[in-house]
Amino acid sequence: MEKPLKYLLEEHKLTLKKAFGQNFLTDENLLAEIVEKAGVTENDAVLEIGCGAGALTRELAKKAKKVIGYEIDKRLAPVLKETVGEFGNVEMIFKDVMQESLTDLEKSLGGEYKIVANLPYYITTPIVMRFLENAANLTSMSVMVQEEVADRFSALPATSDYGAITVAINLRGAARTVLKVPREKFTPAPNVDSAVVRIDIEKGKFAGADLKAVRDIVRAGFSSRRKMLVNNLINGLRLTREQAERALTEAGIPLTARGETLSAENYVRLTERVKQVKNG
Protein backbone atom coordinates (compact mmCIF):
# COMPACT_ATOMS: atom_id res chain seq x y z
CA MET A 1 0.00 0.00 0.00
CA GLU A 2 1.30 3.44 -0.82
CA LYS A 3 0.33 4.90 2.56
CA PRO A 4 0.80 2.93 5.77
CA LEU A 5 -2.50 1.48 7.01
CA LYS A 6 -2.26 3.46 10.25
CA TYR A 7 -2.28 6.82 8.40
CA LEU A 8 -4.94 5.69 5.99
CA LEU A 9 -7.27 4.76 8.85
CA GLU A 10 -6.49 7.97 10.77
CA GLU A 11 -7.07 10.11 7.73
CA HIS A 12 -10.51 8.53 7.20
CA LYS A 13 -11.24 8.46 10.96
CA LEU A 14 -11.79 4.72 10.95
CA THR A 15 -11.35 2.08 13.61
CA LEU A 16 -11.39 -1.56 12.58
CA LYS A 17 -14.43 -3.67 13.48
CA LYS A 18 -13.85 -7.00 15.15
CA ALA A 19 -17.39 -8.14 14.34
CA PHE A 20 -16.56 -8.02 10.62
CA GLY A 21 -13.32 -9.97 11.09
CA GLN A 22 -11.21 -6.97 10.14
CA ASN A 23 -7.64 -8.18 10.50
CA PHE A 24 -5.77 -6.52 7.67
CA LEU A 25 -2.55 -7.36 5.85
CA THR A 26 0.06 -4.78 4.90
CA ASP A 27 3.24 -6.65 3.93
CA GLU A 28 3.49 -6.20 0.16
CA ASN A 29 5.87 -9.14 -0.30
CA LEU A 30 3.45 -11.42 1.51
CA LEU A 31 0.50 -10.10 -0.51
CA ALA A 32 2.39 -10.66 -3.77
CA GLU A 33 3.24 -14.18 -2.62
CA ILE A 34 -0.43 -14.94 -1.96
CA VAL A 35 -1.33 -13.81 -5.50
CA GLU A 36 1.53 -15.87 -6.89
CA LYS A 37 0.51 -19.03 -4.98
CA ALA A 38 -3.07 -18.52 -6.18
CA GLY A 39 -1.71 -18.77 -9.74
CA VAL A 40 -3.36 -15.55 -10.92
CA THR A 41 -2.43 -14.54 -14.47
CA GLU A 42 -3.38 -11.73 -16.86
CA ASN A 43 -6.17 -13.92 -18.31
CA ASP A 44 -7.95 -14.33 -14.99
CA ALA A 45 -11.12 -12.85 -13.57
CA VAL A 46 -10.82 -12.83 -9.78
CA LEU A 47 -13.42 -12.54 -7.06
CA GLU A 48 -12.07 -11.10 -3.82
CA ILE A 49 -14.28 -11.43 -0.75
CA GLY A 50 -13.63 -8.82 1.93
CA CYS A 51 -11.36 -6.17 0.40
CA GLY A 52 -10.72 -4.25 3.63
CA ALA A 53 -8.37 -1.37 2.88
CA GLY A 54 -7.51 -2.85 -0.52
CA ALA A 55 -4.00 -4.20 0.10
CA LEU A 56 -4.67 -7.58 -1.53
CA THR A 57 -6.97 -5.99 -4.12
CA ARG A 58 -4.06 -3.86 -5.39
CA GLU A 59 -1.78 -6.87 -5.83
CA LEU A 60 -4.57 -8.75 -7.60
CA ALA A 61 -5.29 -5.79 -9.88
CA LYS A 62 -1.63 -5.71 -10.97
CA LYS A 63 -1.79 -9.35 -12.12
CA ALA A 64 -5.38 -10.16 -13.11
CA LYS A 65 -7.50 -9.16 -16.07
CA LYS A 66 -10.36 -8.15 -13.83
CA VAL A 67 -11.11 -8.08 -10.12
CA ILE A 68 -14.56 -7.94 -8.57
CA GLY A 69 -14.31 -7.15 -4.87
CA TYR A 70 -17.01 -7.45 -2.21
CA GLU A 71 -16.84 -5.51 1.03
CA ILE A 72 -19.61 -5.47 3.62
CA ASP A 73 -18.39 -2.35 5.43
CA LYS A 74 -19.40 0.76 3.49
CA ARG A 75 -17.19 2.92 5.75
CA LEU A 76 -14.25 1.53 3.75
CA ALA A 77 -15.52 2.99 0.46
CA PRO A 78 -13.41 6.20 0.61
CA VAL A 79 -10.35 4.21 1.69
CA LEU A 80 -10.75 1.79 -1.22
CA LYS A 81 -11.27 4.68 -3.59
CA GLU A 82 -7.89 5.98 -2.52
CA THR A 83 -6.07 2.63 -2.62
CA VAL A 84 -7.56 0.92 -5.69
CA GLY A 85 -9.30 3.79 -7.53
CA GLU A 86 -6.42 4.09 -9.99
CA PHE A 87 -6.98 0.56 -11.33
CA GLY A 88 -9.43 0.42 -14.22
CA ASN A 89 -9.85 -3.35 -13.87
CA VAL A 90 -11.31 -3.30 -10.33
CA GLU A 91 -15.02 -3.20 -9.58
CA MET A 92 -16.01 -2.75 -5.94
CA ILE A 93 -19.37 -3.89 -4.58
CA PHE A 94 -20.33 -2.85 -1.07
CA LYS A 95 -22.51 -5.71 0.00
CA ASP A 96 -22.57 -8.84 2.15
CA VAL A 97 -21.33 -11.49 -0.30
CA MET A 98 -23.64 -14.05 1.34
CA GLN A 99 -26.65 -11.95 0.36
CA GLU A 100 -25.62 -11.72 -3.29
CA SER A 101 -27.22 -14.00 -5.85
CA LEU A 102 -24.54 -16.39 -7.11
CA THR A 103 -26.07 -16.34 -10.57
CA ASP A 104 -25.76 -12.54 -10.77
CA LEU A 105 -22.29 -12.64 -9.28
CA GLU A 106 -21.07 -15.24 -11.78
CA LYS A 107 -22.68 -13.32 -14.63
CA SER A 108 -20.69 -10.21 -13.76
CA LEU A 109 -17.47 -12.25 -13.65
CA GLY A 110 -18.29 -13.31 -17.20
CA GLY A 111 -16.97 -16.89 -17.30
CA GLU A 112 -14.39 -18.87 -15.35
CA TYR A 113 -12.91 -17.16 -12.32
CA LYS A 114 -10.72 -17.65 -9.25
CA ILE A 115 -11.47 -16.63 -5.69
CA VAL A 116 -8.58 -15.06 -3.79
CA ALA A 117 -9.37 -13.74 -0.33
CA ASN A 118 -8.22 -13.11 3.18
CA LEU A 119 -11.54 -14.32 4.55
CA PRO A 120 -13.33 -12.87 7.56
CA TYR A 121 -12.90 -15.66 10.11
CA TYR A 122 -16.38 -15.49 11.61
CA ILE A 123 -17.90 -16.67 8.34
CA THR A 124 -15.17 -18.75 6.64
CA THR A 125 -17.00 -22.08 6.50
CA PRO A 126 -20.36 -20.75 5.19
CA ILE A 127 -18.57 -18.80 2.44
CA VAL A 128 -16.41 -21.74 1.36
CA MET A 129 -19.35 -24.17 1.49
CA ARG A 130 -21.61 -21.87 -0.51
CA PHE A 131 -19.14 -21.55 -3.36
CA LEU A 132 -18.16 -25.21 -3.31
CA GLU A 133 -21.76 -26.35 -3.48
CA ASN A 134 -23.23 -23.78 -5.85
CA ALA A 135 -20.57 -22.10 -7.98
CA ALA A 136 -20.66 -23.14 -11.63
CA ASN A 137 -17.62 -21.35 -13.11
CA LEU A 138 -15.18 -21.34 -10.20
CA THR A 139 -11.79 -22.92 -11.01
CA SER A 140 -9.91 -22.37 -7.75
CA MET A 141 -10.25 -20.82 -4.34
CA SER A 142 -7.15 -19.53 -2.52
CA VAL A 143 -8.19 -18.36 0.89
CA MET A 144 -6.48 -17.22 4.06
CA VAL A 145 -8.06 -19.03 6.98
CA GLN A 146 -7.13 -19.89 10.56
CA GLU A 147 -4.43 -22.57 10.56
CA GLU A 148 -6.66 -25.15 12.27
CA VAL A 149 -9.30 -24.59 9.58
CA ALA A 150 -6.62 -25.07 6.91
CA ASP A 151 -5.74 -28.40 8.55
CA ARG A 152 -9.39 -29.44 8.37
CA PHE A 153 -9.66 -28.57 4.68
CA SER A 154 -6.85 -30.92 3.66
CA ALA A 155 -7.25 -33.62 6.34
CA LEU A 156 -7.11 -37.34 5.62
CA PRO A 157 -9.99 -39.70 6.46
CA ALA A 158 -10.01 -41.14 9.99
CA THR A 159 -8.13 -38.21 11.50
CA SER A 160 -9.69 -35.82 14.01
CA ASP A 161 -9.43 -32.91 11.54
CA TYR A 162 -11.42 -34.77 8.87
CA GLY A 163 -15.00 -33.53 8.61
CA ALA A 164 -17.98 -32.75 6.40
CA ILE A 165 -16.15 -29.77 4.92
CA THR A 166 -13.17 -31.94 3.91
CA VAL A 167 -15.54 -34.25 2.05
CA ALA A 168 -17.34 -31.25 0.48
CA ILE A 169 -13.96 -30.06 -0.85
CA ASN A 170 -12.96 -33.51 -2.09
CA LEU A 171 -16.25 -33.86 -3.94
CA ARG A 172 -15.26 -30.90 -6.13
CA GLY A 173 -11.46 -31.03 -6.10
CA ALA A 174 -8.62 -31.02 -3.59
CA ALA A 175 -7.10 -28.65 -1.05
CA ARG A 176 -3.53 -27.97 -0.04
CA THR A 177 -1.91 -25.44 2.25
CA VAL A 178 0.33 -23.20 0.13
CA LEU A 179 1.50 -20.66 2.71
CA LYS A 180 1.68 -20.33 6.48
CA VAL A 181 1.18 -16.86 7.86
CA PRO A 182 2.04 -15.95 11.47
CA ARG A 183 -0.47 -13.85 13.43
CA GLU A 184 1.95 -10.88 13.64
CA LYS A 185 1.45 -10.25 9.93
CA PHE A 186 -2.07 -8.90 10.60
CA THR A 187 -3.29 -5.56 11.95
CA PRO A 188 -4.58 -6.06 14.57
CA ALA A 189 -2.94 -9.45 15.26
CA PRO A 190 -5.53 -12.18 15.92
CA ASN A 191 -5.03 -14.86 18.60
CA VAL A 192 -4.13 -17.60 16.14
CA ASP A 193 -1.81 -18.19 13.19
CA SER A 194 -3.21 -18.46 9.69
CA ALA A 195 -2.57 -20.24 6.43
CA VAL A 196 -3.50 -19.85 2.79
CA VAL A 197 -5.28 -22.90 1.42
CA ARG A 198 -5.68 -23.42 -2.29
CA ILE A 199 -8.62 -25.52 -3.42
CA ASP A 200 -8.42 -26.51 -7.07
CA ILE A 201 -11.73 -27.51 -8.63
CA GLU A 202 -11.47 -30.55 -10.89
CA LYS A 203 -13.86 -30.18 -13.79
CA GLY A 204 -16.12 -33.21 -14.13
CA LYS A 205 -15.05 -34.82 -10.84
CA PHE A 206 -17.80 -37.29 -9.96
CA ALA A 207 -19.66 -36.26 -13.08
CA GLY A 208 -23.09 -37.85 -13.09
CA ALA A 209 -23.22 -38.21 -9.29
CA ASP A 210 -26.18 -36.65 -7.50
CA LEU A 211 -24.04 -34.37 -5.33
CA LYS A 212 -27.04 -33.00 -3.47
CA ALA A 213 -27.97 -36.51 -2.33
CA VAL A 214 -24.31 -37.22 -1.50
CA ARG A 215 -24.21 -34.11 0.72
CA ASP A 216 -27.28 -35.28 2.64
CA ILE A 217 -25.53 -38.57 3.35
CA VAL A 218 -22.29 -36.82 4.32
CA ARG A 219 -24.30 -34.66 6.74
CA ALA A 220 -25.87 -37.77 8.24
CA GLY A 221 -22.47 -39.49 8.34
CA PHE A 222 -20.94 -36.75 10.46
CA SER A 223 -24.02 -35.97 12.57
CA SER A 224 -22.78 -38.04 15.51
CA ARG A 225 -19.10 -38.67 15.09
CA ARG A 226 -18.98 -41.26 17.85
CA LYS A 227 -21.75 -43.37 16.40
CA MET A 228 -21.31 -45.99 13.75
CA LEU A 229 -22.32 -44.86 10.29
CA VAL A 230 -25.08 -47.45 10.10
CA ASN A 231 -26.87 -45.79 13.04
CA ASN A 232 -26.41 -42.30 11.59
CA LEU A 233 -27.91 -43.52 8.32
CA ILE A 234 -30.91 -45.00 10.12
CA ASN A 235 -31.53 -41.82 12.12
CA GLY A 236 -30.57 -39.23 9.54
CA LEU A 237 -32.06 -40.78 6.41
CA ARG A 238 -34.98 -42.72 7.89
CA LEU A 239 -33.67 -46.03 6.59
CA THR A 240 -34.53 -49.33 8.24
CA ARG A 241 -31.57 -51.19 9.75
CA GLU A 242 -31.86 -53.76 7.00
CA GLN A 243 -31.75 -51.10 4.27
CA ALA A 244 -28.79 -49.31 5.87
CA GLU A 245 -26.83 -52.54 6.29
CA ARG A 246 -27.57 -53.61 2.73
CA ALA A 247 -26.46 -50.27 1.29
CA LEU A 248 -23.20 -50.36 3.25
CA THR A 249 -22.45 -53.96 2.32
CA GLU A 250 -23.17 -53.35 -1.36
CA ALA A 251 -20.91 -50.29 -1.28
CA GLY A 252 -18.12 -52.41 0.23
CA ILE A 253 -18.09 -50.50 3.51
CA PRO A 254 -17.76 -52.42 6.81
CA LEU A 255 -20.90 -52.35 8.97
CA THR A 256 -18.82 -51.11 11.90
CA ALA A 257 -17.38 -48.11 9.97
CA ARG A 258 -17.76 -44.56 11.25
CA GLY A 259 -18.63 -41.70 8.91
CA GLU A 260 -15.25 -40.06 9.42
CA THR A 261 -13.39 -43.00 7.84
CA LEU A 262 -15.06 -42.66 4.43
CA SER A 263 -13.47 -40.88 1.49
CA ALA A 264 -15.49 -38.73 -0.92
CA GLU A 265 -15.45 -41.70 -3.35
CA ASN A 266 -16.91 -43.93 -0.63
CA TYR A 267 -19.70 -41.41 0.00
CA VAL A 268 -20.54 -41.22 -3.71
CA ARG A 269 -20.69 -45.03 -3.95
CA LEU A 270 -22.74 -45.30 -0.77
CA THR A 271 -25.23 -42.72 -2.07
CA GLU A 272 -25.88 -44.78 -5.19
CA ARG A 273 -26.52 -47.86 -3.05
CA VAL A 274 -28.79 -46.00 -0.64
CA LYS A 275 -30.86 -44.77 -3.58
CA GLN A 276 -31.15 -48.32 -4.88
CA VAL A 277 -32.21 -49.88 -1.58
CA LYS A 278 -34.74 -47.08 -1.04
CA ASN A 279 -36.28 -47.86 -4.40
CA GLY A 280 -36.71 -51.48 -3.31
DSSP-based helix, strand, coil % in the chain, nearest 5 = 45, 20, 35
Q: Is the peptide bond before 188 cis (omega within 30 degrees of 0)?
A: yes
CA neighbor of 274 nearest in space, from 205, 208, 221: 221
Q: How far apart are CA 252 and CA 241, in angstroms?
A: 17
Residue 37: count other Cβ atoms within 10 Å of its Cβ. Answer: 16
Closer of 124 and 166 to ligand SAM (Cβ): 124
Shortest distance in whole angstroms from residue 248 CB to ligand SAM? 39
Min dist CB 171 to ligand SAM, Å, is 24
- Where b means 16+ CB within 10 Å and e means fewer, 147-161 reads bebbbbbbbebeeeb
Q: Helix (H, G, I), strand (E, B), or coil: what is residue 142?
A: strand
Q: How far is Cα 237 from Cα 258, in angstroms, rounded to an integer? A: 16
Considering the complex, state which of residue 56 and residue 149 has its C-beta at the smaller distance from ligand SAM: 56
Q: Write down the least CB distance from residue 243 to ligand SAM, Å.
A: 41
Instruction: Compute the least distance from the CB of residue 54 to ligand SAM, in Å.
Output: 7
Q: Which is nearer to ligand SAM, 51 or 251 (CB)?
A: 51
Euclidean distance between CA atoms 206 and 169, whole angstroms: 12
The smaller minimum CB distance to ligand SAM, of residues 44 and 73, is found at 73
Q: Among 129, 126, 142, 139, which Cα is nearest to 176's? A: 142
Please state the closest distance from residue 112 (CB atom) to ligand SAM, in A.
22
How many other C-beta atoms can be found within 10 angstroms of the C-beta atom of residue 192?
A: 12
Instruction: Write the single-letter amino acid at 61.
Output: A
Smallest separation, CB 72 to ligand SAM (Å): 4
Closest distance of CB 102 from ligand SAM, Å: 13
Q: Which residues 6+ apart lie within 8 Å of 22 measured at CB?
A: 16, 52, 73, 120
Nearest approach, Cβ of 232 to ligand SAM (angstroms)? Answer: 32
User: Where along the sequence are the contacts to ligand SAM (CB under 6 A)?
Assistant: 20-25, 49-52, 55-56, 70-73, 96-98, 118, 120, 123
* Distance, C-alpha 128 to centroid of its chain: 3
- Which residue lies nearer to ligand SAM by CB, 146 or 271? 146
User: CB-wise, 147 or 250, nearer to ligand SAM?
Assistant: 147
Residue nearest to ligand SAM (CB): 50
Q: At what angle do helices 77-84 and 55-63 cross, to 10 degrees?
A: 40
Would you say 73 or 260 has its CB closer to ligand SAM?
73
**Which residue, 20 or 222, has its beta carbon nearer to ligand SAM?**
20
